[in-house]
Amino acid sequence: MLKRCILLHCLFFALFGSGPVQAEPTNSPSGKQLFREHCATCHGPSGRGGIGLPLHLEDFLRIADRQYLMETIKHGRPGRVMPGFAHLLTRTERGRIADFIEGWQKGPEAELPEVGEGSADHGAELFERNCAGCHGYKGQGGTQPKAAPGHITGKKAVVPPALNNSGFLAAASDAFIKATMLRGREGTPMRAYGGAEELTDQQMNDLVAYIRSWGQGVDPLAKPVIEVRSDLPMDELIPMLKMSINSHNFVFIRQQTLYEGLPPAAKKPDSPVHILQFCSFGLLDKALKVDERVGAFLPCQISVYREGGRTVMSAINPKALSPLFHKPELELFCSLVSEKYLRIMQEANF
């Protein structure tokens, strides 16, 4: 019942926020202009990095082909700072941006390695020893900055990207992943593992198999609804959820049930759906200045209910809805809120 209600809400936002579909102008902007408008704010005007990762790196440019760049622009990195532009840019426009980025490359394209069959189980052990210290124990990436200078910190250290991410896995080929291990990224903490005393060819194949195995799951921030299930009973989980909301600098507003206000004769479930409403007034102010329509799904709220013997926490995913508003700066805000939703729920279930 709750899921159906949420999906109906999503349909409402689609009708409310999508606007008319416009054909691409005859005199459409160049790749440089499109990069400046959609990418430079995060990646820097010359691709040297900022809130977003640096792109103007020779080791990256020599192995990142046009298809990888276009897929990255299309899918983004769900749950991270990088928004997807599938609804904002046409395929032709994404291609122009990719061509502009490729124009920074100075040397010839690197020959990508062959990838043989690997053991995901052995790769998991290798990942824990060699990669988890930077990329996270499950490949979730380093902690993202909340403001500029962003990924480039005061120590000029690049925050390691998320590998266990639907956007990355959709864009990166097995050969690209292995080539990154072989070559590393000069100018970042990512060193080359292709030396004689580093990883063997088979070990790199095992790592590729393990990283690729993550693609069999679904990124929780790629769905219209964010959902976390818990074995805790509802009366124990809700107080933990309130504490987690407060710990993320949100103001708790109120708790109510989905059927509150209905007449006594109305049929109600044995286990009510509790709705927790909360808000960050600073984020709210910034979002409304970008587009007043975001008020349609504010304040923030998480629903808690019982299903299949477990307690479920769920919320509408702002990240999945933001492309409907056709504003890149709003996508950055919605990505942040979606990530906070997920962290709040996960920490309440810790």
Domain positions in the chain are 39-218, 223-348
What is the pLDDT, as a whole number, of residue 301? 92
End-to-end C-alpha distance for the chain, whole angstroms: 27
Question: Which pLDDT score is estimated for 172?
Answer: 94
Q: Is the pLDDT of residue 269 over 70?
A: no
Instruction: Average the pLDDT over 55-74 and give the result.
Output: 94
> From CA 245, how far away is CA 112, in angstroms rounded?
46
What pLDDT, on a 0 to 100 scale, did the predictor assign at position 217? 61
Give the chain's mean pLDDT.
82
Going by pLDDT thresholds of 50, 70 and 90, the confidence category of residue 158 is confident
- Homologous superfamily (CATH) for 223-348: TT1751-like domain (3.30.310.70)
Residue with the larger pLDDT of the pair 121 and 350: 121
Range with top average pLDDT, 20-24, 255-259, 311-315, 337-341 = 311-315
Q: Are 341 and 320 in contact (CB under 8 A)?
A: no
CB 225 within 8 A of CB 302: no
State which fold the 39-218 domain adopts: Cytochrome Bc1 Complex; Chain D, domain 2 (1.10.760)
Question: Residue 85 forms beta bridges with which residues?
Answer: none
Q: Are strands 274-279 and 300-307 parallel, antiparallel or unpaired?
A: antiparallel
* 39-218 shares its CATH topology with 223-348: no
Q: Which of the four pLDDT bands, split at 50, 70 and 90, describes residue 196?
A: low
